[in-house]
Structure 1
Amino acid sequence: MSTVPMSPVSMSPVSTSTALLTDHYELTMLRAALRSGAAGRRAVFEVFARSLPAGRRFGVVAGTGRLLAAIERFRFGPAEIEQLRTAGVVDADTVDWLASYRFSGDIDGFAEGEPFFPETPVLVVEGTFAECLLLETLVLSVLNHDSAIAAAGARMVAAAGDRPCLEMGGRRTHELAAVAAARAAYIVGFAGTSNLEAARGYGVPSAGTSAHAFTLAHDSELEAFAAQVAALGTDTTLLVDTYDIATGIANAVAAAGGNPGAIRIDSGDLASGARAARAQLDAAGATATRIVVTGDLDEHSIARLASAPVDSYGVGTSLVTGAGAPTAGFVYKLASVDGRPVAKTSAGKRTRGGRKEVVRYHGPDGVAVTDLVSPSGDADGNQPGTEPGRAQRLLLVPLLRAGKLVDEALVGAAAVARAREHHRSAVRSLPDAAREVSFGHPCLPVVFAGEEPSSPA
């Protein structure tokens, strides 16, 4: 098969299958399940994280729209089957089965952008054992990456308060991961991205001006700034720390005729640098000039800049690497077979059998108080420790039915806009502790029907 351009929707070659974005053992298990007869048994798989990264108050589900688009193209065409056959991964019976494969089951999941807590199932995949089994690696690779970025980004947005954050980590990660990261960051409240593919594929606003190389390519800083203003207008952001920041600010003011739109500081002590810059700009009459800071920022350094006269933040490396937690820790576990609950009992990795529902309960003030995980069909029962009739919201919503999207707006740019709004609303309903970036415990307890609740901070 010829090489073709890449699509951010599936993160795989356009007009080709996503089916080989998987692990070898998915196919060997399929081969054996076809032999044993287990392939056709009705199965339910659930996706959950055993814990949150240390100190985090909540996680965020992201990547759902990308995943649903990728599942639609999870097909084994002639090229994929020939690759597997030639490598000896599959036998003739498995080849015949794969040739007509398309996922025909049901998927329910948390709405994209929804906060989640440990051990709560955020995605439920139901169908035959074989068709569900094959999706494991794809599901986990998409959700683990995007949800990790979203959780980190949400903490940065909380630390920034009303000041906007721009995603600019494309040069610090894999080129396709950069697109997914920009998408996830926008969902949790980043104002935009430097990544043009994310802008094209998902409607994320893009922005950018210049790097130090642009200044160095000119005979003087003033000449560089003048050229940038001439090309981009006075509202452009001028990078003032190539040489001396105070001199750079003076050159920026001169080049913009007294009122540059913004300056950017990318090095040094950003708090003291911003204060000195604000004083210098104000003294020069450039009181409306904005101050943008960049340079290895994370949620903690952003929080420390809260009292500094900073107008916006540019965040790169820490965001696209999950701020120290590059995976959400999701696992994909079998919960029932032919309606019978099944569970692992191994130490440290036990699972709870049976298909489940998740309900989030809210107090009279609209603030969430707990999540209840119940056997499917029991979600309307009374939550232990609360009064009957307390406001509740079912978190697992239909995504696919019989392999088909329940709503076309679950994928593409429409999904991103919807997820961004859902995240804003859902986070607003969490307890105040959710927006703290200091080390703490999950901000909501999780109650499993018949078990004692976990404890929040």
Structure 2
Amino acid sequence: MDHAPSHSSQSEPMSTALLTDQYELTMLQGALESGTADRPAVFEVFARQLPPGRRYGVVAGIGRLLDALESFVFDDPALAFLTSRGIVDDATAGWLAKYRFGGDVWGYAEGDCYFPGSPVLVVKGTFAEAAILETLVLSVLNHDSAIASAAARMVSAAGGRPIIEMGSRRTHEMAAVAAARAAYIAGFTTTSNLEAGRLYGVPTAGTAAHSFTLLHDNERHAFQSQLATLGAGTTLLVDTYDVERAVRVAVELAGPALGAVRIDSGDLTVMARRVRALLDSLGAEETRIVVTGDLDEYSIAALAAAPVDGYGVGTSLVTGSGAPTAGLVYKLVARGDSADPGAPMRSVAKRSAEKQGRGGRKSVVRHIDAHGVAQAEIVTTGESSPGPHDRTPLVPLVREGAVIGREPLATARARHVQALGELPPTALQLSRGDPAIPTEFVDTHLSP
């Protein structure tokens, strides 16, 4: 289903301008004072390294960021807040009142993979208009890419078995919506979150919790009620009391057409085998087994040989399975010597010992061999020269302030399958190791 902008159902989209850090605006005020605010500038988003144990990252959040960028306007309430607190002076408030991003943005398309140093996003504009986007860009991309990266590992570990995202109760209410979207891009099949379904068209699913069974006088009554409401194809939760007894009652009531049973506790490998044998003995060979309960990519991989047909993942997914941020940074890499659009561009970079940057606007080529396997991420400050099988991950997203890079969520989902499929087989290993492909930096000349 096509992606719908997050503000599509609102006549007055909420301003995103204050979803930022104060220092973005104090820098702006200082630049306006010094006369440097209008200097041309290029910012890049990249990760210095991947989280420990990760061999690739997955880009997610681009669509959400484009929506947020269109709503990044300083309306009257925002300006009143800023001036009443003395955060900006009147001159800066006047500048902000007219602010609309008018620059260009390129980025890795959603679902694609990235590696240390990959220029995931490139923002070109004046210093003032580009610098104040830093916090918004990073908050969206760091969260969504962390979730998608964890989700991709879980999907790989599942080996084709479907996974439902069910982490809404374990994170902030709006983060839950973004997490469901990111997980779907990375291959999760459904979400329990209805707002993600409404906003983004992510397929939704859900049946009942233990409280529904406990509400009724007995398990039989609870199952009867659920079957009467949702039909025999539903999923019955069978571990509230005694699993074996619950499975027998479930099949007795629903017959062999029972859709699935869910196990949420205990040794899931052992329980799945016992339940599978029992279902088969009762003639319910087609009834599926779904397991939930603090799963992550490692426990999913451990269940590979068990007769499990699907998984439900919550806490580990919405917390990035140990890496809740992608570690992306937003850095100035080039700027003009003056506000003149024709002024020469100067390469700039941070030189501190442990956080050295690489100056100059980058281009990138993913080198792919004749067999379709990625060999390296080649990042250069000059014009790139793709080989016959190579591809360039950066795509245009915004041109002169106008969003041009929106796409259906299904496109991002399909892209992820393709991007993961071109990585070497070692990329899918859950053990610690180096990035799936190396990043090679080639310094040539600055391309403004």
Common fold, TM-score beyond 0.5? yes
How far does residue 15 in structure 1 lie from its aligned partner after superposition? 2.6
Match of 1:426 among 415, 419, 428: 419
Deviation at 1:14, TM superposition (A): 5.5
**Displacement of 1:52 after TM fit?**
0.5
1:318 counterpart SS class = helix
Please give the root-mean-square deviation of Cα atoms over the aligned residues, in Å.
Answer: 1.6
Instruction: Say if 2:58 and 2:112, in contact at 8 Å, map to a contact too.
Output: yes
In structure 2, which of residues 60, 63, 75 is the aligned counterpart of residue 62 of structure 1? 60
* Preserved CA contact (<8 Å) 2:255 2:284: no
Alignment partner, residue 83 of structure 2: 85
Measured in 1, the distance between the counterparts of 2:141 and 2:197 equals 21
Equivalent in the alignment of 2:304 = 306
Distance in 2 (CA, whole Å) between partners of 1:10 and 1:119 is: 34
The SS at the match of 1:391 is: coil
Once the two structures are superposed, residues 216-266 of structure 1 have per-residue CA deviations (whole angstroms, 9 ceiling, x without a partner) of 000110110011111100000000000011111111111213431100000
- Residue of structure 1 equivalent to 2:180: 182
Structure 1 counterpart SS, 2:257: coil
Q: Which residue of structure 1 lines up, in the alignment, with residue 439 of structure 2? A: 446
The one-letter code sitting in structure 2 at the alignment partner of 1:428 is: G
**Taking structure 1 as reference, are residues 391 and 271 closer, same or farther at Cα in structure 2, changes over 3 Å only?**
same
- The equivalent residue for 1:349 is 355
Partner of 2:429: 436
8 Å CA contact 2:101–2:130 kept in 1: the answer is: yes
- List per-residue Cα deviations over 1:89-116 (Å, max 9, x = no partner): 0101101101100100000000111100
> In the alignment, which of 251, 257, 273 is matched to residue 253 of structure 1?
251
SS in 2 for 1:392: coil
CA 1:434–1:127 in 2, change beyond 3 Å: closer, same or farther? same
Question: Aligned partner of 2:422: which letter?
Answer: S
- 2:221 maps to amino acid: E
Report the Cα offset of residue 418 of structure 1.
Answer: 1.4
The answer as to whether partners of 1:59 and 1:115 remain within 8 angstroms in 2 is: yes
1:61 is matched by which residue type in structure 2? V
Q: What amino acid is aligned across from residue 218 of structure 2 in structure 1?
A: S
**Greater Cα offset, 192-201 or 438-447:** 438-447
Gaps of 5+ in 1: 1-6, 382-388, 452-457
The answer to whether the 8 Å contact 2:256/2:285 transfers is: no
Q: Do the aligned residues in 1 keep the contact of 2:6 with 2:67 (CA within 8 Å)?
A: no
2:342 is matched with which residue?
none
**SS across alignment from 1:434:** helix
- In the alignment, the residues of structure 1 paired with residue 51 and residue 10 of structure 2 have an alpha-carbon distance, to the nearest angstrom, of 29
Alignment of 1:16-31 (within 5 A): 16-31=14-29
Q: Does 1:241 align with 2:234?
A: no
Mark the CA change 1:228 to 1:312 in structure 2 (over 3 Å): closer, same or farther: same
Query: What letter is aligned with 1:427?
Result: L
Gaps of at least 5 residues in structure 2 are 337-344
Partner of 2:171 in structure 1? 173
Give the one of 268, 281, 284 matched to 1:283: 281
| Residue of 351, 363, 366 corresponding to 1:360 | 366
1:8 CA drift (Å): 4.6
In structure 2, the CA distance between the partners of 1:8 and 1:175, relative to structure 1 (3 Å rule), is farther
What is the distance in 2 between the residues matched to 1:168 and 1:371? 34
Deviation at residue 405 of structure 1 after TM alignment = 1.4
Which one-letter code corresponds to 2:385 in the other structure? D
* Residues matched between the structures, number: 432
Could you tell me which amino acid in structure 2 is paired with residue 120 of structure 1? S
TM-score (norm 2): 0.94
2:339 counterpart residue number? none
TM-score (norm 1): 0.92
Is the contact between residue 12 and residue 18 of structure 1 (CA under 8 Å) also seen in structure 2? Answer: no
* Identical-pair percentage: 60
Q: Determine which of 125, 128, 133 is the counterpart of 2:126.
A: 128
Aligned pairs (5 A) from 1:33-72: 33-72=31-70
Render the CA deviation track for 1:412-442: whole Å, top value 9, x for unaligned: xx2x221111111111111111112222221
Q: What code does the residue aligned with 2:440 have? A: V
| Contact kept? 1:9, 1:66, Cα under 8 Å | no
Alignment correspondent of 2:346: 340
Moved more, 36-45 or 437-446: 437-446
**Could you give the per-residue CA deviations for residues 45-83 of structure 1, whole angstroms, max 9, x where no partner exists?**
000001101011100110000001100110011111010
State the match for 2:194 in structure 1: 196
| Aligned counterpart, 2:398 | 400
Change (3 A) 1:14 1:431: farther
Partner residue in 2 for 1:3: none
Distance 2:17 2:352 in 1: 31
Corresponding residue number in structure 1 for 2:155:
157
Distance 1:313 1:180, change over 3 A: same
Residue equivalent to 2:269: 271
Local SS of the residue matching 2:255: coil
The alpha-carbon deviation at position 11 of structure 1 amounts to 13
**Distance across 1 between alignment mates of 2:325 and 2:256:** 47
Give the ranges of 4+ consecutive aligned residues of structure 1 lying more than 6 Å apart after TM superposition: 10-13
Q: Which of 5, 30, 33 is equivalent to 1:32?
A: 30
User: How far apart in 1 are the matches of 2:242 and 2:331?
Assistant: 56
State the distance in 2 between where 1:212 and 1:305 align.
Answer: 23
> Is the 1:27–1:134 contact (alpha carbons within 8 Å) kept by the matching residues of 2?
yes
Q: 1:57 to 1:209 in 2, by over 3 A?
A: same
How many Å separate the matches in 1 of 2:279 and 2:122? Answer: 55
Q: Summarize deviations over 1:310-334 as a string: whole Å, max 9, x none.
A: 0000000000000000000000000
For 1:255 and 1:14, the matched residues in 2 are separated by: 50
Contact 2:40 2:335 in 1 (8 A): yes
- State the distance in 1 between where 2:217 and 2:352 align: 67
Where 2:430 maps in the other structure, the secondary structure is: coil
CA contact 2:381–2:443 (8 Å) conserved in 1: no
The match for 1:380 is: 385
Letter in structure 2 aligned against 1:433: T
**Counterpart code for 1:396:** L
